[in-house]
Structure 1
């Protein structure tokens, strides 16, 4: 594992990195709503605390690859939170979203959003399902305002049949390096940092974050 982790820092990811065990249409997999959180309660609380340190009242937020919970702090007052996902029932049950749209990013990675229109983009415990993450990060760079925040969080939990092959092959350190590498290779961000937010290391679900600032 460690050798793979080190190689990630400099290698160019290829198509083999993004093969999935289940290549059937994502729309079929996500057709049935899953009104559950994908990390434990302690990790959910840690994610909310993390957002509290990065977001400001009045921000325009894009919650990409969202579900029925956005994990935003209860005392956070954004201008608007726009959600994206694959299941309308999940998104309509999310009380923190002002509006949402459905789109399969693995078929169409072009975001139907205006340039420089968001202060922050969140991707929570879903990055492992993207087959073109660098292209998505380029889109995020386009829609974020100058100095806007990209906040990606992830754990070791996943739907293994839909996670890309490189994610399945890596450990926690490898996941951190993989996400940071993809963000770096998009050439859209600076101040890329990896954070360990795990609330109960070795006991509950781990939680990590890659954060970055829009360079355009």
Structure 2
């Protein structure tokens, strides 16, 4: 995928993100089947007892309920949502589109997740590069997404691509960041009798190189 022009990251609504997310939304943005698929990914890739960063977090983190972690930090835009999230031991309010550098020390997390939010980042490569810094070497990121979003806040290139294109785009972001390896695309869409049911769920996994 070639270098992307700045226009690729324009949005229909360019008002400050803090304004758009000012009111808490205590809803889930994918259906139960897709949520279960996200939880299963975390079950597979997040180490039990580990230090977890939930990037672009909200009032629910979709972590497996039977697994305990030593630290779960949520970074998001709505304070009320973060305060209500029962899995978070700490939380930070930060707009990654204006401040893409993370307020954490190097190698301070064992794994990270970005759930159905990658399409809202206007500086995704910068964010993912710094995320690689704060993970331990070999630490996984699970970037999951579906075909649902807030259309006015998703970047232009996201709207122009299909599911396969989204997978390619997110892999491109990690490759461009330069400090990720073992980048793997996954289709974890719920299926019955071989046919997709409900919301699709896709993910790209990468491992930090330090």
- TM-score band, normalised by shorter chain: over 0.9
Q: Find the aligned partners of 1:202 and 1:19 in 2 and give their Cα distance.
A: 31
**Structure 1 residue 89 corresponds to structure 2 residue 83:** no
Of residues 113, 137, 147, the one that matches 2:138 is: 147
Contact 1:197-1:207 within 8 A present in 2 as well: yes
Unaligned runs of 5+ in 2: none
Matched, 1:18 2:13: no
Distance 1:150 1:56 in 2: 12
Question: Does 2:60 match 1:69?
Answer: yes
The structure 1 residue matched to 2:205, chosen from 206, 211, 215, is 211
Match of 1:163 among 139, 154, 167: 154
Q: 1:101 aligns with which of 86, 92, 98?
A: 92
The Cα of 1:203 is off from its aligned counterpart by: 2.9
Kindly report the root-mean-square deviation, in angstroms, between the aligned alpha carbons of the 2 structures.
0.8
Match of 1:49 in 2: 40
The CA distance in 2 between the partners of 1:141 and 1:202, in whole Å, is 33
2:151 match: secondary structure = coil
Identify the residue that residue 135 of structure 1 maps to in structure 2: 126
Residue 30 of structure 2 corresponds to which residue in structure 1? 39
* Matched residue count: 207
Q: Corresponding residue for 2:19?
A: 28
Runs of 4+ in 1 over 4 A off after TM superposition: none
Deviation readout 1:155-203 (Å, 9 max, x if unpaired): 0000000000000111111111110111111111000000001013543
Structure 1 Cα separation of the partners of residues 37 and 137 of structure 2 = 27
What is the TM-score when the length of structure 1 is the normalising length? 0.94
Q: State which of 183, 186, 199 in structure 2 corresponds to 1:195.
A: 186
For 2:106 and 2:41, the matched residues in 1 are separated by: 26
Q: What TM-score comes out, normalization by structure 2 length?
A: 0.97
Deviations 1:73-129, CA, capped at 9 Å, x for gaps: 011111110001000111111111111000011111111100111001110000000
Is the 1:137–1:183 Cα contact (8 Å) retained in structure 2?
A: yes
Could you tell me how far apart the structure 2 residues matched to 1:14 and 1:160 are? 20
- Does the CA contact (< 8 Å) of 2:53 and 2:72 recur in 1? yes
Unpaired runs of 5+ residues, structure 1, are 1-9
Distance apart, 1:14 and its partner CA? 1.8
**Whole-Å separation in 1 of the counterparts to 2:37 and 2:153:** 26
Matched-pair contact (CA < 8 Å) for 1:56–1:76? no
